Chain A
Amino acid sequence: MKILAIDTSASPVSAALLSDGKLLGEFYLNIKTTHSQTLMPIVSALLSSSGTDIKDIDVFAVNAGPGSFTGVRIGVASVKGMAMPLDKPCAQVSTLEAMAYSMPYSDGIVCSVMDARCNQVYNALFRLNGGKTERLTEDRALSIDELADELSQYSETVYLTGDGAELCSNKFTDCLPNVILTPVNIRFQHAYGTAVAAEKMAAENRLCTSAQLMPVYLRLPQAERELKARLAKNNNKKGEEK
Protein backbone atom coordinates (compact mmCIF):
# COMPACT_ATOMS: atom_id res chain seq x y z
CA MET A 1 0.00 0.00 0.00
CA LYS A 2 1.35 3.43 -1.02
CA ILE A 3 0.51 6.43 1.14
CA LEU A 4 1.17 10.04 0.22
CA ALA A 5 1.05 12.18 3.37
CA ILE A 6 1.33 15.92 3.74
CA ASP A 7 1.63 18.34 6.63
CA THR A 8 0.98 22.08 6.52
CA SER A 9 -0.48 22.43 10.01
CA ALA A 10 2.05 24.96 11.31
CA SER A 11 5.20 26.72 10.16
CA PRO A 12 6.94 23.75 8.45
CA VAL A 13 5.66 22.04 5.32
CA SER A 14 6.39 18.42 4.41
CA ALA A 15 5.35 15.52 2.20
CA ALA A 16 6.20 11.84 2.66
CA LEU A 17 5.76 8.73 0.60
CA LEU A 18 5.32 5.44 2.46
CA SER A 19 5.15 2.05 0.76
CA ASP A 20 4.15 -0.92 2.94
CA GLY A 21 5.66 0.67 6.00
CA LYS A 22 8.85 1.74 4.28
CA LEU A 23 9.65 5.43 3.88
CA LEU A 24 10.45 5.95 0.18
CA GLY A 25 10.99 9.67 0.45
CA GLU A 26 10.24 12.78 2.43
CA PHE A 27 10.55 16.48 1.63
CA TYR A 28 10.59 19.03 4.45
CA LEU A 29 10.95 22.82 4.50
CA ASN A 30 10.77 25.16 7.45
CA ILE A 31 10.96 28.59 5.88
CA LYS A 32 8.69 31.62 6.03
CA THR A 33 7.16 31.18 2.58
CA THR A 34 3.47 30.35 2.61
CA HIS A 35 2.42 26.74 2.14
CA SER A 36 0.24 27.70 -0.79
CA GLN A 37 3.49 28.31 -2.69
CA THR A 38 5.63 25.46 -1.35
CA LEU A 39 3.35 22.45 -0.91
CA MET A 40 2.54 21.50 -4.51
CA PRO A 41 6.13 21.85 -5.84
CA ILE A 42 7.25 19.60 -2.94
CA VAL A 43 4.60 16.96 -3.70
CA SER A 44 5.35 17.08 -7.40
CA ALA A 45 9.12 16.75 -6.82
CA LEU A 46 8.62 13.90 -4.37
CA LEU A 47 6.48 11.95 -6.84
CA SER A 48 8.70 12.57 -9.86
CA SER A 49 12.04 11.95 -8.12
CA SER A 50 10.75 8.71 -6.62
CA GLY A 51 9.34 7.64 -10.00
CA THR A 52 5.83 7.39 -8.57
CA ASP A 53 2.69 8.01 -10.62
CA ILE A 54 0.04 9.76 -8.54
CA LYS A 55 -2.45 7.13 -9.82
CA ASP A 56 -0.49 4.51 -7.84
CA ILE A 57 -1.16 6.22 -4.52
CA ASP A 58 -3.66 4.17 -2.48
CA VAL A 59 -4.27 6.58 0.40
CA PHE A 60 -3.92 10.35 0.66
CA ALA A 61 -3.20 11.45 4.23
CA VAL A 62 -3.15 14.89 5.83
CA ASN A 63 -2.68 16.45 9.24
CA ALA A 64 -6.21 17.87 9.43
CA GLY A 65 -5.70 19.72 12.70
CA PRO A 66 -5.29 21.07 15.19
CA GLY A 67 -3.08 23.73 13.69
CA SER A 68 -2.98 27.13 12.11
CA PHE A 69 -6.28 28.14 10.52
CA THR A 70 -4.86 28.79 7.07
CA GLY A 71 -2.33 25.95 7.15
CA VAL A 72 -4.91 23.29 7.94
CA ARG A 73 -7.21 24.55 5.18
CA ILE A 74 -4.40 24.46 2.62
CA GLY A 75 -3.50 20.87 3.57
CA VAL A 76 -7.05 19.54 3.63
CA ALA A 77 -8.04 21.29 0.40
CA SER A 78 -4.93 20.01 -1.41
CA VAL A 79 -5.51 16.41 -0.38
CA LYS A 80 -9.19 16.66 -1.34
CA GLY A 81 -8.10 17.94 -4.73
CA MET A 82 -5.66 15.08 -5.31
CA ALA A 83 -7.88 12.27 -3.99
CA MET A 84 -11.21 13.32 -5.50
CA PRO A 85 -10.50 12.84 -9.26
CA LEU A 86 -8.77 9.50 -8.55
CA ASP A 87 -11.56 8.43 -6.19
CA LYS A 88 -9.06 7.33 -3.54
CA PRO A 89 -9.61 7.19 0.23
CA CYS A 90 -8.20 9.80 2.61
CA ALA A 91 -6.83 9.67 6.13
CA GLN A 92 -7.84 12.57 8.38
CA VAL A 93 -4.92 12.45 10.79
CA SER A 94 -4.61 14.31 14.07
CA THR A 95 -1.52 16.52 13.93
CA LEU A 96 -0.76 15.63 17.55
CA GLU A 97 -0.98 11.91 16.88
CA ALA A 98 1.28 12.22 13.82
CA MET A 99 3.86 13.83 16.10
CA ALA A 100 3.74 10.86 18.44
CA TYR A 101 4.40 8.52 15.51
CA SER A 102 7.45 10.56 14.55
CA MET A 103 9.14 9.56 17.80
CA PRO A 104 11.94 7.05 17.61
CA TYR A 105 11.59 3.83 19.52
CA SER A 106 11.40 4.73 23.20
CA ASP A 107 9.23 4.00 26.24
CA GLY A 108 7.44 6.72 28.15
CA ILE A 109 4.84 9.43 27.62
CA VAL A 110 4.77 11.56 24.48
CA CYS A 111 3.33 14.99 25.15
CA SER A 112 2.60 16.61 21.77
CA VAL A 113 2.12 20.37 22.10
CA MET A 114 1.42 23.08 19.56
CA ASP A 115 1.51 26.77 20.44
CA ALA A 116 -2.08 28.07 20.28
CA ARG A 117 -1.05 31.60 21.43
CA CYS A 118 -2.03 33.46 24.61
CA ASN A 119 -0.33 30.84 26.87
CA GLN A 120 -2.55 28.08 25.56
CA VAL A 121 -1.57 24.92 23.71
CA TYR A 122 -3.13 22.16 21.63
CA ASN A 123 -2.16 18.90 23.26
CA ALA A 124 -2.64 15.16 23.46
CA LEU A 125 -0.78 12.53 25.50
CA PHE A 126 0.35 9.11 24.28
CA ARG A 127 2.09 6.21 25.99
CA LEU A 128 4.88 4.48 24.07
CA ASN A 129 5.42 0.95 25.25
CA GLY A 130 7.31 -1.80 23.48
CA GLY A 131 6.95 -0.15 20.08
CA LYS A 132 3.19 0.48 20.52
CA THR A 133 1.62 3.93 20.67
CA GLU A 134 -1.43 4.21 22.92
CA ARG A 135 -3.54 7.36 23.06
CA LEU A 136 -4.14 8.59 26.64
CA THR A 137 -6.20 11.74 26.00
CA GLU A 138 -8.31 13.28 23.25
CA ASP A 139 -6.89 16.20 21.30
CA ARG A 140 -7.70 19.29 23.35
CA ALA A 141 -6.81 22.92 23.92
CA LEU A 142 -5.71 23.92 27.41
CA SER A 143 -3.52 26.39 29.27
CA ILE A 144 0.15 25.60 29.86
CA ASP A 145 -0.48 25.64 33.63
CA GLU A 146 -3.25 23.04 33.35
CA LEU A 147 -0.96 20.85 31.27
CA ALA A 148 1.81 21.11 33.89
CA ASP A 149 -0.65 19.99 36.60
CA GLU A 150 -1.68 16.99 34.56
CA LEU A 151 1.87 15.95 33.69
CA SER A 152 2.86 15.96 37.36
CA GLN A 153 0.82 12.71 37.74
CA TYR A 154 3.25 10.77 35.56
CA SER A 155 6.40 9.31 36.99
CA GLU A 156 7.66 7.99 33.62
CA THR A 157 9.82 10.02 31.26
CA VAL A 158 7.72 12.60 29.39
CA TYR A 159 8.93 13.52 25.89
CA LEU A 160 7.84 17.04 25.07
CA THR A 161 7.51 17.45 21.31
CA GLY A 162 5.96 19.87 18.80
CA ASP A 163 6.28 23.60 18.08
CA GLY A 164 4.97 24.42 21.56
CA ALA A 165 7.46 22.11 23.28
CA GLU A 166 10.16 24.68 23.93
CA LEU A 167 7.60 27.17 25.27
CA CYS A 168 6.35 24.55 27.77
CA SER A 169 9.79 23.24 28.58
CA ASN A 170 10.88 26.70 29.72
CA LYS A 171 7.98 26.74 32.21
CA PHE A 172 8.30 23.10 33.30
CA THR A 173 12.01 22.80 34.14
CA ASP A 174 11.61 23.66 37.83
CA CYS A 175 8.49 21.64 38.60
CA LEU A 176 8.73 18.62 36.29
CA PRO A 177 12.17 16.93 36.41
CA ASN A 178 11.15 13.93 34.25
CA VAL A 179 10.29 16.05 31.20
CA ILE A 180 12.67 15.85 28.23
CA LEU A 181 12.57 18.18 25.25
CA THR A 182 12.92 16.19 22.01
CA PRO A 183 15.79 17.17 19.66
CA VAL A 184 14.88 19.57 16.82
CA ASN A 185 15.20 16.98 14.04
CA ILE A 186 12.13 15.15 15.38
CA ARG A 187 10.44 17.94 17.36
CA PHE A 188 8.38 19.52 14.59
CA GLN A 189 5.62 17.73 12.74
CA HIS A 190 6.76 15.67 9.77
CA ALA A 191 4.58 14.04 7.14
CA TYR A 192 6.34 10.74 7.94
CA GLY A 193 4.40 10.57 11.23
CA THR A 194 1.21 11.41 9.32
CA ALA A 195 1.84 8.51 6.93
CA VAL A 196 2.48 6.05 9.76
CA ALA A 197 -0.72 7.15 11.51
CA ALA A 198 -2.61 6.80 8.20
CA GLU A 199 -1.29 3.26 7.72
CA LYS A 200 -2.67 2.33 11.13
CA MET A 201 -6.01 4.00 10.30
CA ALA A 202 -6.21 2.04 7.04
CA ALA A 203 -5.64 -1.23 8.94
CA GLU A 204 -8.44 -0.24 11.36
CA ASN A 205 -10.87 0.76 8.59
CA ARG A 206 -10.88 4.39 9.67
CA LEU A 207 -10.26 6.05 6.29
CA CYS A 208 -12.79 8.45 4.76
CA THR A 209 -13.74 9.73 1.31
CA SER A 210 -12.34 12.97 -0.04
CA ALA A 211 -15.78 14.53 0.49
CA GLN A 212 -15.85 13.47 4.15
CA LEU A 213 -12.36 14.82 4.85
CA MET A 214 -12.67 17.95 7.01
CA PRO A 215 -10.38 20.36 8.87
CA VAL A 216 -10.46 19.90 12.65
CA TYR A 217 -10.36 22.98 14.83
CA LEU A 218 -10.26 23.05 18.61
CA ARG A 219 -11.69 26.04 20.41
CA LEU A 220 -9.40 27.47 23.07
CA PRO A 221 -10.58 27.68 26.69
CA GLN A 222 -10.19 31.46 26.55
CA ALA A 223 -12.46 31.57 23.47
CA GLU A 224 -14.95 29.26 25.19
CA ARG A 225 -15.15 31.54 28.24
CA GLU A 226 -15.54 34.58 26.03
CA LEU A 227 -18.33 32.93 24.01
CA LYS A 228 -20.20 31.93 27.19
CA ALA A 229 -19.92 35.44 28.61
CA ARG A 230 -21.23 36.92 25.37
CA LEU A 231 -24.16 34.49 25.15
CA ALA A 232 -25.05 35.18 28.81
CA LYS A 233 -24.97 38.92 28.11
CA ASN A 234 -27.25 38.52 25.08
CA ASN A 235 -29.66 36.39 27.12
CA ASN A 236 -29.77 39.03 29.86
CA LYS A 237 -30.52 41.67 27.27
CA LYS A 238 -33.36 39.57 25.90
CA GLY A 239 -34.67 39.14 29.45
CA GLU A 240 -34.68 42.91 29.99
CA GLU A 241 -36.51 43.50 26.73
CA LYS A 242 -39.29 41.19 27.87
Chain B
Amino acid sequence: MQKFITKSPEETESLAEQIAKTLEGTEMIAMFGDLGAGKTAFTRGLARGLGVDDGVSSPTFALVHEYSGKYPVYHFDMYRVTSWDDLYTTGFFDYMDNGVMVIEWSENIVDFLPENRINITIKHLSENEREITVEGAKEI
Protein backbone atom coordinates (compact mmCIF):
# COMPACT_ATOMS: atom_id res chain seq x y z
CA MET B 1 0.00 0.00 0.00
CA GLN B 2 1.27 3.46 -0.93
CA LYS B 3 0.01 6.76 0.49
CA PHE B 4 0.44 10.18 -1.08
CA ILE B 5 -0.62 13.72 -0.22
CA THR B 6 -1.39 16.03 -3.14
CA LYS B 7 -1.93 19.77 -2.81
CA SER B 8 -3.79 20.56 -6.04
CA PRO B 9 -5.77 18.86 -8.82
CA GLU B 10 -2.63 19.21 -10.99
CA GLU B 11 -0.60 17.23 -8.44
CA THR B 12 -3.32 14.55 -8.36
CA GLU B 13 -3.14 14.32 -12.14
CA SER B 14 0.61 14.01 -12.17
CA LEU B 15 0.54 11.28 -9.50
CA ALA B 16 -1.94 9.34 -11.64
CA GLU B 17 0.29 9.86 -14.65
CA GLN B 18 3.16 8.17 -12.80
CA ILE B 19 0.94 5.25 -11.79
CA ALA B 20 -0.15 4.90 -15.42
CA LYS B 21 3.49 4.19 -16.37
CA THR B 22 3.42 1.01 -14.25
CA LEU B 23 0.33 -0.48 -15.94
CA GLU B 24 0.48 -3.45 -18.29
CA GLY B 25 -2.79 -2.99 -20.17
CA THR B 26 -5.56 -5.06 -18.57
CA GLU B 27 -5.75 -3.70 -15.04
CA MET B 28 -8.95 -2.85 -13.24
CA ILE B 29 -8.66 0.33 -11.21
CA ALA B 30 -11.43 0.92 -8.67
CA MET B 31 -11.73 4.43 -7.30
CA PHE B 32 -13.32 5.40 -4.00
CA GLY B 33 -13.97 8.92 -2.78
CA ASP B 34 -16.67 11.53 -2.20
CA LEU B 35 -18.11 13.96 -4.68
CA GLY B 36 -15.40 16.43 -5.67
CA ALA B 37 -12.60 14.28 -4.24
CA GLY B 38 -10.73 14.37 -7.54
CA LYS B 39 -11.59 11.04 -9.16
CA THR B 40 -12.01 12.59 -12.60
CA ALA B 41 -8.78 14.56 -12.20
CA PHE B 42 -7.04 11.32 -11.29
CA THR B 43 -8.49 9.59 -14.37
CA ARG B 44 -7.42 12.50 -16.56
CA GLY B 45 -3.82 12.09 -15.37
CA LEU B 46 -3.97 8.34 -15.76
CA ALA B 47 -5.28 8.63 -19.33
CA ARG B 48 -2.57 11.18 -20.16
CA GLY B 49 0.06 8.77 -18.80
CA LEU B 50 -1.30 6.16 -21.20
CA GLY B 51 -1.02 8.50 -24.16
CA VAL B 52 -4.71 9.36 -24.50
CA ASP B 53 -5.10 12.68 -26.35
CA ASP B 54 -8.89 13.06 -26.06
CA GLY B 55 -10.41 15.16 -23.32
CA VAL B 56 -11.44 13.12 -20.28
CA SER B 57 -14.75 13.99 -18.64
CA SER B 58 -16.92 12.21 -16.12
CA PRO B 59 -19.13 9.55 -17.81
CA THR B 60 -22.00 10.12 -15.36
CA PHE B 61 -24.60 10.06 -18.13
CA ALA B 62 -22.98 7.80 -20.72
CA LEU B 63 -21.88 5.32 -17.97
CA VAL B 64 -18.70 4.54 -19.88
CA HIS B 65 -16.30 6.55 -22.02
CA GLU B 66 -13.78 4.75 -24.19
CA TYR B 67 -10.39 6.26 -24.97
CA SER B 68 -7.59 4.87 -27.03
CA GLY B 69 -3.98 5.35 -26.08
CA LYS B 70 -1.11 2.94 -25.51
CA TYR B 71 -3.91 0.61 -24.33
CA PRO B 72 -7.68 1.02 -24.61
CA VAL B 73 -8.98 2.87 -21.54
CA TYR B 74 -12.53 2.25 -20.34
CA HIS B 75 -13.72 4.93 -17.94
CA PHE B 76 -16.83 3.94 -15.97
CA ASP B 77 -18.98 5.98 -13.62
CA MET B 78 -21.10 3.80 -11.33
CA TYR B 79 -22.92 6.68 -9.61
CA ARG B 80 -26.27 5.43 -10.94
CA VAL B 81 -25.32 1.75 -11.17
CA THR B 82 -26.29 0.09 -7.92
CA SER B 83 -27.18 -3.54 -8.61
CA TRP B 84 -25.81 -6.57 -10.41
CA ASP B 85 -28.45 -6.25 -13.13
CA ASP B 86 -27.54 -2.60 -13.70
CA LEU B 87 -23.88 -3.53 -13.90
CA TYR B 88 -24.42 -6.48 -16.24
CA THR B 89 -26.49 -4.39 -18.65
CA THR B 90 -23.75 -1.77 -18.98
CA GLY B 91 -21.75 -4.55 -20.66
CA PHE B 92 -19.20 -4.11 -17.86
CA PHE B 93 -18.04 -7.74 -17.87
CA ASP B 94 -17.44 -7.66 -21.63
CA TYR B 95 -14.80 -4.98 -21.13
CA MET B 96 -12.71 -7.07 -18.72
CA ASP B 97 -9.27 -8.21 -19.93
CA ASN B 98 -9.50 -5.98 -23.02
CA GLY B 99 -7.98 -2.80 -21.65
CA VAL B 100 -7.43 -0.65 -18.57
CA MET B 101 -10.72 -0.18 -16.71
CA VAL B 102 -11.02 2.88 -14.49
CA ILE B 103 -14.10 2.92 -12.28
CA GLU B 104 -15.52 5.92 -10.46
CA TRP B 105 -18.02 5.32 -7.63
CA SER B 106 -16.77 1.77 -7.11
CA GLU B 107 -18.50 1.89 -3.71
CA ASN B 108 -21.75 1.02 -5.48
CA ILE B 109 -20.61 -2.26 -7.00
CA VAL B 110 -17.63 -3.29 -4.88
CA ASP B 111 -19.15 -6.72 -4.11
CA PHE B 112 -19.08 -7.65 -7.80
CA LEU B 113 -15.54 -6.60 -8.61
CA PRO B 114 -12.79 -9.20 -8.96
CA GLU B 115 -10.29 -9.43 -6.08
CA ASN B 116 -7.43 -8.86 -8.47
CA ARG B 117 -7.63 -5.09 -8.91
CA ILE B 118 -6.04 -1.78 -7.96
CA ASN B 119 -7.86 0.32 -5.35
CA ILE B 120 -7.46 4.10 -5.31
CA THR B 121 -9.00 5.87 -2.32
CA ILE B 122 -9.07 9.66 -2.35
CA LYS B 123 -9.75 11.48 0.93
CA HIS B 124 -10.50 15.18 1.36
CA LEU B 125 -8.01 16.74 3.82
CA SER B 126 -8.75 20.40 3.10
CA GLU B 127 -9.97 22.58 0.23
CA ASN B 128 -7.09 21.54 -2.03
CA GLU B 129 -5.28 18.79 -0.13
CA ARG B 130 -6.02 15.12 -0.76
CA GLU B 131 -4.74 11.88 0.74
CA ILE B 132 -4.50 9.24 -1.97
CA THR B 133 -4.13 5.60 -1.01
CA VAL B 134 -3.04 3.15 -3.69
CA GLU B 135 -3.44 -0.59 -3.11
CA GLY B 136 -2.44 -3.36 -5.48
CA ALA B 137 -0.35 -1.25 -7.89
CA LYS B 138 3.38 -1.49 -8.53
CA GLU B 139 5.58 0.87 -6.47
CA ILE B 140 6.25 4.25 -8.06
Interface residues on A, range: 10 to 19
Report the Cα distance A32→B99, complex, angstroms.
10
Closest to B112 in A: A118
Whole-angstrom distance between the Cβ of B63 and the nearest chain A Cβ: 13
Chain B residues within an 8 Å CB radius of A69: 88-89, 91, 93-94
Q: Does A200 contact B (CB under 8 A)?
A: no
Chain B residues within an 8 Å CB radius of A217: 88
Report the Cα distance A70→B95, complex, angstroms.
10
Asked if B111 and A226 sit within 8 Å, CB to CB, the answer is yes
- Number of interchain pairs (Cβ within 8 Å): 35
Interface size counted on chain B using CB atoms at 8 A:
13
Interface positions of A from 20 to 50, Cβ below 8 Å from B: 32
Interface positions of A from 204 to 221, Cβ below 8 Å from B: 217, 219-220
Q: Does A236 contact B (CB under 8 A)?
A: no
Q: Using a CB–CB distance below 8 Å, which chain B residues touch chain A?
A: 83-85, 88-89, 91, 93-94, 96, 98, 111-112, 114
Q: Using a CB–CB distance below 8 Å, which chain A residues touch chain B?
A: 32, 68-71, 117-118, 217, 219-220, 222-223, 226-227, 230
29 A-B contact pairs sorted by A residue (CB < 8 Å) = A32-B98, A68-B91, A68-B93, A68-B94, A69-B88, A69-B89, A69-B91, A69-B93, A69-B94, A70-B91, A70-B94, A117-B96, A117-B114, A118-B114, A217-B88, A219-B85, A220-B84, A222-B84, A222-B112, A223-B83, A223-B84, A223-B85, A223-B88, A226-B83, A226-B111, A227-B83, A227-B84, A227-B85, A230-B83
